[in-house]
């Protein structure tokens, strides 16, 4: 594995949750694998007053699991962490920050190569690049300057377009890395390998052989301390506009000509641009929204969304979305895609299910005892990452009784099954200058273009129902009605509670 060039990673918002829970552990893992450059430092920024030692102490928790087998030590790693306090909203304070950065650059010998990571509230995503440019920090003729932008990338098409325009005023597209952490997941990348390196799957991967596609990302937790964020965002903006549309694009894209950023991202954007718009007056036929209500989960009372901190007791914000859509192109004409996501569902699972067409004639259908499903390929993204192929086999004995059996591969069975975290992979890629697994501006806008009319319809037509589903169930029962024919979603496990469904 190539090591990145020497540089400093500057984290805006380093006193926050993301830095501590995701970024620092990912960097510590890179350090253990000796994948950080020899001359490297992190400069954390925030208004909170912290000394370097305070910052290191605060970050130690996430980074502390170093075993003797691994490279480096926790102290080597922590010594690379530095902190500088300033208000990143104040243009005037940037001169002091630049001096601090240049001093650290001289001390470390990082060649004036900087990555700026925006882990602040989104309201600062447009400001910071502008203030960095004021200080000449957006360009380095001999080395690099890169900008990582966290989600959410806008909250509708217009704001996403504006944010793209604002960023592009000071940084060019090659310098901008828009994070969608789902692309950093090993099993999401494996989707490309499964599709494009296996002769058995690719010939079947089209409307002739695939009946429908299902993508589920469920969580068994509620919004927790993020109630006020969720009130703004809801499941459509938080999960569907980005992660679920991205997963669907990877399932649907054409083979890229090369494995590089341009080819792969060109194919992703083509899928997003081919999504058939959902007319505003048909939204309730294609999209189901739900919100969890209080119930008992695993024997314990759980709050409904409206009882969470920071949530309006009359909120109609969705914590569940299920939807059907079509991709209007040669490969997928007429194939429905079903996607769903929700909080407080019975289990945490992200999976893609490819449902193949049934055989043209049911030769063994006389047998009443067992009703078979169609062949399914289940691509499990998390947890228990792997692949499951379901197909029919003869039940031994008289007659021709057919039963579904599984061919099941689990990543955990590989001898060397280390799965890097999404942030670890994405940070390393940015350090190496590879944007393949980051979203391109046009793709983000294409996704918003598809989602915007749905959000507008929800705003403008209060008669579109918000279905209350008891925490611990698989969401509103009506979401099964979305699926055409005599089929339902795949339920990886049962409801945890019967609860009471309601309309909100």
Ligand X SMILES: NC(=O)C1=CN([C@@H]2O[C@H](COP(=O)(O)OP(=O)(O)OC[C@H]3O[C@@H](n4cnc5c(N)ncnc54)[C@H](OP(=O)(O)O)[C@@H]3O)[C@@H](O)[C@H]2O)C=CC1
Ligand Y SMILES: O=C1O[C@H](COP(=O)(O)O)[C@@H](O)[C@H](O)[C@H]1O
Phi first, then psi: give them for residue 133, nearest 5 degrees.
-65, -35
Instruction: Give the residue, chosen from 4, 13, 256, 304, that forms a contact with ligand X under the rule CB under 6 A.
Output: 13
Build a one-symbol-per-residue string for 445-464: x at contacts with ligand X by CB under 6 A, - elsewhere: --------------------
DSSP per position, 107-168 = HHT-TT-EEEEE-S-GGGTTHHHHHHHHTTTT--SSS-EEEEEPSP--SSHHHHHHHHHHHH
Using CB under 6 A, which of the segments 15-23, 35-43, 325-333, 442-450 binds ligand X?
A: 15-23
Q: Which is nearer to ligand X, 18 or 483 (CB)?
A: 18
Instruction: Give the residue, chosen from 119, 188, 278, 422, that forms a contact with ligand X under the rule CB under 6 A.
Output: 119
Least distance between ligand X and beta carbon 389 (Å): 33
The reply to whether 89 sits near ligand X by the rule CB under 6 A is yes
Instruction: State the Cα angle at 331 between 216 and 179, rounded to 5°.
Output: 45
488 three-state secondary structure: coil
The reply to whether 219 sits near ligand Y by the rule CB under 6 A is yes
Find the binding residues for ligand X in span 344-363 (CB under 6 A): none
285 three-state secondary structure: helix
Count the Cβ atoms, other than its own, within 10 Å of residue 210.
Answer: 19
Name residue, tokens 């909203």: 89
Count the Cβ atoms, other than its own, within 10 Å of residue 11.
Answer: 26
Name residue, tokens 């099993």: 187
Q: Which residues are annotated as a binding site for NADP(+)?
A: 13-20, 47, 151
Instruction: State the Cα angle at 47 between 43 and 50, rounded to 5°.
Output: 60
Q: Which is nearer to ligand Y, 267 or 318 (CB)?
A: 318
Least distance between ligand X and beta carbon 190 (Å): 22
Q: Which is nearer to ligand X, 15 or 138 (CB)?
A: 15
Count the Cβ atoms, other than its own, within 10 Å of residue 388.
Answer: 17
Find the binding residues for ligand X in span 120-179 (CB under 6 A): 120-122, 150-152
Q: Which is nearer to ligand X, 90 or 102 (CB)?
A: 90
Phi first, then psi: give them for residue 380, nearest 5 degrees.
-90, 115
Least distance between ligand Y and beta carbon 476 (Å): 19
Rg (CA), the chain: 24
Instruction: Provide the token pair at 279.
Output: 């007319």
Identified catalytic residue from 243, 355, 410, 467: 243
Judged by beta carbon distances under 5 to 8 A according to partner kind, the member of ligand X, ligand Y, none in contact with residue 315 is none
Using CB under 6 A, which of the segments 114-122, 183-191, 202-210, 404-412 binds ligand X?
A: 114-122
Build a one-symbol-per-residue string for 34-73: x at contacts with ligand Y by CB under 6 A, - elsewhere: ----------------------------------------
Sort strands 287-293 and 349-356 into parallel, antiparallel or unpaired: unpaired
Least distance between ligand X and beta carbon 209 (Å): 37
Q: Which is nearer to ligand Y, 335 or 428 (CB)?
A: 428
Binding site for ligand X (CB under 6 A): 13-18, 46-48, 87-89, 119-122, 150-152
């Amino acid at each position: 594995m190539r090591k990145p060039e020497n540089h400093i990673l500057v984290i805006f918002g380093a006193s926050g949750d993301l830095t501590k829970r995701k970024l620092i552990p990912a960097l510590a893992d890179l350090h253990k694998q000796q994948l950080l450059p020899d001359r490297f430092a992190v400069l954390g920024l925030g208004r909170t007053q912290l000394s370097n030692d305070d910052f290191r102490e605060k970050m130690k928790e996430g980074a502390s699991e170093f075993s003797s087998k691994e490279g480096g030590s926790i102290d080597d790693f922590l010594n690379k962490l530095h902190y500088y306090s300033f208000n990143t909203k104040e243009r005037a304070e940037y001169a002091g920050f630049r001096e601090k950065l240049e001093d650290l650059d001289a001390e470390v010998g990082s060649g004036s190569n900087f990555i700026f990571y925006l882990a602040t509230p989104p309201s600062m995503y447009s400001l910071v690049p502008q203030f960095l440019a004021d200080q000449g920090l957006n360009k380095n003729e001999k080395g690099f300057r890169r900008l990582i932008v966290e989600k959410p990338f806008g909250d509708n098409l217009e704001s996403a377009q504006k944010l793209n325009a604002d960023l592009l005023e000071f940084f060019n597209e090659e310098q901008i890395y828009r994070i969608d952490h789902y692309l950093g997941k090993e099993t999401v990348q494996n989707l490309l390998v499964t599709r494009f390196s296996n002769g058995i799957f690719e010939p079947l991967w089209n409307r002739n052989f695939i009946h429908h596609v299902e993508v589920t990302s469920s969580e068994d937790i509620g919004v927790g301390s993020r109630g006020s964020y969720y009130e703004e965002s809801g499941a459509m903006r938080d999960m569907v506009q980005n992660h679920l549309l991205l997963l669907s694009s990877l399932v649907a894209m054409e083979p890229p000509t090369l494995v590089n950023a341009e080819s792969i991202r060109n194919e992703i954007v083509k899928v997003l641009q081919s999504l058939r718009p959902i007319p505003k007056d048909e939204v309730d036929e294609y999209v189901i929204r739900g919100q969890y209500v209080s119930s008992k989960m695993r024997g314990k009372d759980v709050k409904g969304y409206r009882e969470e901190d920071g949530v309006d007791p009359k909120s109609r914000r969705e914590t569940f979305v299920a939807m059907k859509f079509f991709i209007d192109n040669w490969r997928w004409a007429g194939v429905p895609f079903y996607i769903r996501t929700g909080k407080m569902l019975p289990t945490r699972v992200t999976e893609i299910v490819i449902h193949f067409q049934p055989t043209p004639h049911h030769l063994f259908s006389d047998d009443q005892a067992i009703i078979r499903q169609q062949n399914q390929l289940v691509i499990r993204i998390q947890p228990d990452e792997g692949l499951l192929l379901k197909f029919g086999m003869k039940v031994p004995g008289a007659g021709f009784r057919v039963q579904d059996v599984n061919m099941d591969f689990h990543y955990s069975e590989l001898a060397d099954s280390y799965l890097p975290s999404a942030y670890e992979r994405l940070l390393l890629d940015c350090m190496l200058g590879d944007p393949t697994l980051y979203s391109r501006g046009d793709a983000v806008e294409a996704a918003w273009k598809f989602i915007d009319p749905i959000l507008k319809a929800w705003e403008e037509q209060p008669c579109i129902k918000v279905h209350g589903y008891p925490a611990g169930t698989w969401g509103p029962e009506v979401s099964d009605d979305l699926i055409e024919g005599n089929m339902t979603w795949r339920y990886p496990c049962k409801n945890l509670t019967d609860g009471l469904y309601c309309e909100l």
